[in-house]
Amino acid sequence: MQTANEDSFQEFVLTLPTGKDWDDAPLFLHNDTWYPAYCIRGVVSFQQNFRAQDTDIILTSSPKSGTTWLKALTFSVVNRDRCSLKESPLITTPLHELVPFLENDLYLKSQNPNLDFPPPRILSCHTHYTSLPQSIRDSNCKIVYICRNPLDQVVSYFHFIRSRASGSTRPLLSTEECFENMCRGVQSHGPFWNSMLSY
């Protein structure tokens, strides 16, 4: 049985323009950004419910632009005085657990996730600046954005999609079609240029 909240969310999703990612996975256009179907609920919940703290560090990027590298570097710098290299949580804990994604993980699992981390909270997202929750833009939290050469990003994303689709029956776009989609902005968390220019 669906709740009224679930019904209204489904009605909302049906109003969104749709597209296809490079592996034929469905995308929804929300606030001028293409989001994968699996994370649209997390995106909306993040935008509506997240409350930034002034001590937060928000890491943001387009997919395949150095997000993991930025997470590891930031976590290491922030925690450099808390433990030795041999005792670093980076050795034993998956990085995306230490620095979780807001819209693609925490808010996807719960509309009100437990964000009771010791300050500074290091969190990440692929959300364009103009679509960030107002609480982030109104707070004194730090936003760290990483950008990559568009050619490098599109090649990395192309190979990522290819590896992710291994064993899938969905059709894959050709190299030329992927390039055309990138130029039109049709890719997960695209358009790339809107993301870059918004920061």
Active site residue ranges: 126
What would you report as the CA-atom Rg of the chain, rounded to the nearest whole angstrom? 18
Tokens, residue 165? 């689709």
Q: Do 40 and 30 contact (CB within 8 A), yes or no?
A: yes
Which of 195, 172, 178 lies closest to 62, judged by CA? 195
Sheet holding 18-20, edge to edge: 18-20, 26-30, 33-36
Residue appearing with tokens 């710098």: 77
From the list 102, 108, 128, the residue with the least C-alpha distance to 189 is 128
